[in-house]
Amino acid sequence: MKDEVTRDDRVANLKGLGCSRKRVEDARFTQGKGNYVDDMNLPGMLTGDFVRSPYAHARITSINTDAAMALDGVIAVLTAKDLEPLGLHWMPTLAGDKQMVLADGKVLFQGQEVAFVVAKDRYIASDAVELVEVEYEELPVIVDPFASMKSDVVLREDLDPTAPGAHGPRKHHNHIFTWEVGDEDGTNAVIDDADIVAEESMYYHRTHPCPLEPCGCVASMDKVNGKLTLWGTFQAPHVVRTVASLLSGIEEHNIRVVSPDIGGGFGNKVGVYPGYVCSIVASIVTGVPVKWVEDRMENLMSTAFARDYWMTGKISATKEGKITGLHCHVTADHGAFDACADPTKFPAGFMNICTGSYDIPIAYLGVDGVYTNKAPGGVSYRCSFRVTEAVYFIERMIEVLAIEMNMDSAELRRINFIKKEQFPYNSALGWEYDSGDYHTAWDKALKAVDYEGLRKEQAERVEAFKRGETRTIMGIGLSFFTEIVGAGPVKNCDILGMGMFDSCEIRIHPTGSAIARLGTISQGQGHATTFAQILASEIGISADSITIEEGDTDTAPYGLGTYGSRSTPVAGAAAAMVGRKIRAKAQMIAAYLLEVHDDDVEFDVDRFVVKGAPERFKTMGEIAYAAYNQAIPGIEPGLEAVSYYDPPNMTYPFGAYVCVMDIDVDTGVPTIKRFYALDDCGTRINPMVIEGQIHGGLTEALAVALGQEIAYDDMGNCKTGTLMDFFLPTAWEVPNYETDHTVTPSPHHPIGAKGVGESPHVGGVPCFSNAVQDAFRPFGNRHTNMPHDHWRIWKTANDLGLHD
């Protein structure tokens, strides 16, 4: 006799919300069976490769392609002159600027695309690149945004210096925009009259997302049926299709964009790169598929960077430590073209979340974007738009204010947190925080690490150091962050005019399994695992019986893609909503089958039961079969639905992090002794996937805080173009992470989930940095800039006289 299947068993069989289900993607990834763009090989496919500029700023006096064209196997060498008749030698950027596809008369950064060689294979293409003769006339190079704003040298000769840019008036020929939020006069008045004011300037250095798989595509123009297919590393395939249609004039139904497996994105694969445009043109010209895949150096030197924000802050407080006002100004180095990937109305992203987790009554933010001779970009590397910069800024300002007040910064945070009962909370800079319970999270974190004990240990260590008994000092890094993710309400968030909703479509098969498609695209986040869990809980079909598909614009519903932790808040909400549509129809079918009124059945895990008579039920499997095979009066056959979800608000995940670090003052080597991360991402869909996201985001935070940098010399040469110098941490450098959580659901999200992929990065960077800076606080340190590599840490010790 079979064991009785309990309700708990049925819940467990669903593998729905809250289940640490193993990632279904990993079987193929761990066995080398993934399908990445560079795995594609189509008959007759050609390969493209770029001639790139060795100079950061130079005029091009001539390009001679004869020798390259003479090489056996070279099909074409494209220059700006070839693209100009098509109007494709420049392309629009996501930020309302335009960018050269191929150098049009001059180059503006080292590594800029100058010519595109198309050849029979990758080797011939590379040989031909060496044969293209380009003559340059060097121009003065500007790598400093402050110098740029004073320089007579005009970087962008294509722009009318007196005309406004995409975001309003420009102050100087190298200025891009000024963006202001908040009340500057009011803020200044509060700060001028305040008991305490702390000021600090900080540089959030330029870095790079550096996904393991670089960017690339395969373009295939089928001249017989007029269809263009583009496979590529796209975080937003549907947007790429629309943009490709608008640029090329090919009708959108004749373009199919496919994102196959993607080896990490982190914001690097949101934008459109010259390689995509050149591959499409080359395929249209040659009539055969053209592949372009960049190498690691090209990825680091020419695709979208992150950060490069020079931030100056003033924060005021009462004698008791209650913050009264915050003033922030940013000089943003955008490089040669403004290619930031932000919603249109937010040229500095959501930098105006810079009041952080604190109840600050008045604030002002001003951002000036500036051109320099560096690679373009400004993407959100594992964070929602510029949130990492904002959180780093406020978490450093809190520390500086604590120093100014000779106060413990944990207590200073506690005094100023937005209180649980204040949510939904309207910030001084215009956001409505949906939900939070910061005090509970903070207390839990500090208790978990025995914060008071740590401070005692630190004080003892300082004394021991002063007595000459040790040469290591101890830092306790704190950070409390509030993220703003899930862009976004269409009313204020769009990219190139396309509203930032997302979508889910589901088709239940007659035998009770299903396929669902979404407008997002996983780059490692595990969507095929977690979206199935949301649907499983909503419709009562096991996650194991639901296939998730994304990334093919011919089959998936339109969506804005995956970045800014928007997949769960937006597409995840669409999944929940589409599940409810299925359930509503299923309810009518069940009622018909059970011969009762619709209102007399209710959903129970995986079935509809007659109210008060749970032994009378129809499972979702039975309902699906009936939906297709039984004539039901008034109900059309089939069981499928689609939902487009425009969120009413963003979601605001938060967290409390503590890092304990030892620093060898003689060598500058930091050792992380402990890292505790408490995250509140609302309803938790898959705790194991969340933990994986936390580990990954913290590791990228460690990288950025402790050494990962895109650095240039005065001539605009990129000094960090290989993984020898660009810090990508391995298992060796990464500490053990302790993860913890609280759960404060989002009140407006259908299942209360908030998004988590980027939280650990946003909270982690200031936490690691604060640990370094806190170690030196007892010796007089106030602020030092990241990245805290050995030499910079050593220099801090040296400047503080610790080597004397």
Known catalytic residues are: 235, 382-383, 758
In the bound complex, what is the minimum distance in angstroms from residue 280's beta carbon to other proteins? 23
Task: Report DSSP state, residue 545.
Answer: G
In terms of CB distance, is 390 or 705 closer to other proteins? Answer: 705
The conformation of residue 485, written as its DSSP 8-state character, comes to: B
Taking CB under 8 A as the rule, does residue 432 contact other proteins? no
Q: Which helix (H) or strand (E) holds 310?
A: strand 305-317
Interface with other proteins, residue 30, by CB under 8 A: no
> For other proteins, which stretch binds (CB under 8 A), given 529-537, 629-637, 720-728, 759-767?
720-728
The burial class, CB within 10 Å (0-12 / 13-18 / 19+), for 8 is exposed
Write the CA distances from 671 to 29, 134, 457, integer angstroms: 32, 48, 16
Reduced to 3 states (helix: H, G, I; strand: E, B; else coil), residue 702 is helix
Task: State the minimum distance, in angstroms, from the CB of residue 538 to other proteins.
Answer: 44
Residue 513 binds other proteins (CB under 8 A): no
Cα dihedral sign, 741-743-749-751:
positive
**Other CB atoms closer than 10 Å to residue 759's CB: what's the count?**
33
CA distance 788 to 501: 39
Could you give the string, one character per residue 296-335, with x where binding to other proteins holds by CB under 8 A and - elsewhere? xx--------------------------------------
Residue list 64-83, contact with other proteins (CB under 8 A): none
| Single residue of 86, 154, 159, 669 touching other proteins by CB under 8 A | 669
Q: How far apart are CA 75 and CA 65, in angstroms?
A: 12
Q: Least distance to other proteins from the beta carbon of 721, Å?
A: 10
**Could you say whether residue 733 binds other proteins (CB under 8 A)?**
yes
Among 617, 657, 727, 776, which residue interacts with other proteins (rule: CB under 8 A)? 727
The Cα–Cα gap between 597 and 610 comes to 9
Binding residue (CB under 8 A) for other proteins from 561, 668, 757, 766: 668
Instruction: Tell me which residues in 116-135 interact with other proteins (CB under 8 A).
Output: 122-123, 125-127, 130
Segment contacting other proteins (CB under 8 A): 70-78, 90-98, 490-498, 727-735? 727-735
Taking the CA atoms of residue 627, residue 632, residue 635 and residue 641 in that order, the dihedral angle to the nearest 10 degrees is 0
C-alpha to C-alpha distance for 613 and 602, rounded to whole angstroms: 10
Which residue has 């008959």 as its token pair?
Answer: 43
Task: List the beta bridge partners of residue 432.
Answer: 426
Query: To the nearest whole angstrom, how small is the minimum distance from the Cβ of residue 471 to other proteins?
Result: 9
Choice between 122 and 674, CB closer to other proteins: 122
Closer of 29 and 791 to other proteins (Cβ)? 791
Q: Are 553 and 256 in contact (CB under 8 A)?
A: yes
Q: Name 369's Cβ contacts closer than 8 Å, sequence gap at least 6.
A: 167, 175, 176, 177, 178, 179, 332, 334, 338, 347, 348
Which is it for strands 494-495 and 498-499: parallel, antiparallel or unpaired? Answer: antiparallel
Tokens 């969120």 label which residue?
647
Would you say 452 or 666 has its CB closer to other proteins? 666
Position 41 contacts other proteins (CB under 8 A): no
Q: State the nearest-atom distance from the C-beta of 122 to other proteins, in Å.
A: 6
Among 719, 738, 743, 780, binds other proteins (CB under 8 A): 719
Number of H helices, E strands in the chain: 20, 33
Q: Is 768 in the site for other proteins (CB under 8 A)?
A: no
| Contact residue for other proteins among 27, 723, 743, 780 (CB under 8 A) | 723
- 387-405 and 759-776 are packed helices; what angle lies between their axes, rounded to 10 degrees? 30
* HSE toward the beta carbon, residue 369, CA cutoff 13 A: 30
Among 512, 670, 707, 763, binds other proteins (CB under 8 A): 707
Using CB under 8 A, pick the residue from 724, 736, 801, 804 that binds other proteins: 724
Binding range to other proteins, per CB under 8 A, among 347-355, 612-620, 686-694, 726-734: 726-734
The answer to the question of residue 475 lying near other proteins (CB under 8 A) is: no
Residue 179 Cβ, how far from other proteins at the closest point, in Å? 33
Q: Is residue 227 within the footprint of other proteins (CB under 8 A)?
A: no
Determine if 725 is a binding residue for other proteins (CB under 8 A).
yes
Cβ closer to other proteins: 259 or 279?
A: 279
- Binding pattern for the stretch 772-801 against other proteins, x by CB under 8 A and - elsewhere: -----------------xxx--xx--x---
Handedness of CA 170, 174, 178, 179 (dihedral sign): positive
Which phi and psi (to 5°) does residue 216 adopt? Answer: -175, 170
Do the beta carbons of residue 475 and residue 668 sit within 8 Å?
no
Is there binding between residue 595 and other proteins (CB under 8 A)?
Answer: no
Is residue 225 at the binding interface for other proteins, with CB under 8 A as the rule? no
Residues that bind other proteins in the complex, under the rule CB under 8 A: 49, 122-123, 125-127, 130, 295-297, 666-669, 707, 711, 719-720, 723-725, 727, 729-730, 732-733, 789-791, 794-795, 798, 803
